[in-house]
Amino acid sequence: MNEKPTPEALQAAIAAGLNCQRLDVQGDGTYFKAVIVSPEFEGKRLIARHQLVYKALGDRMRTEVHAFSMKTLTPEEFEAQN
């Protein structure tokens, strides 16, 4: 049986696979939400951004994570919102 993932473990996996300027993952072991700011999102549509995050998370998305919502922003978009 798989252990429940932690927000820290998911954050580390995303950071290892994606160049992030800002990364915040919150969750309770089943449901997670993340704000991910990366220059790698430049010029990419929402689905392509999400695919980059899913690639960084790898098999965790199929085997460990029940629900994962994310806000994916470029550094410029993040600055414009804050």
| CATH code of the domain in which 33 resides | 3.30.300.90
- What mean pLDDT do residues 24-31 have? 93
Q: Which of 79, 77, 81, 74 is nearest to 19 (CA)?
A: 74
Q: Which pLDDT belongs to residue 3?
A: 76
Sheet holding 67-73, edge to edge: 22-27, 31-37, 67-73
Question: Is 80 among the domain residues?
Answer: no
Work out the pLDDT band at 2, boundaries 50, 70, 90: low
Q: Looking at the domain assignment, is residue 6 inside a domain?
A: no
pLDDT reported for residue 1: 44
Total domain count for the chain?
1
Domain that holds residue 68: 12-75
In a domain, 82, yes or no: no
Report if residue 5 sits inside a domain: no
What percentage of the chain reaches a pLDDT higher than 70? 98
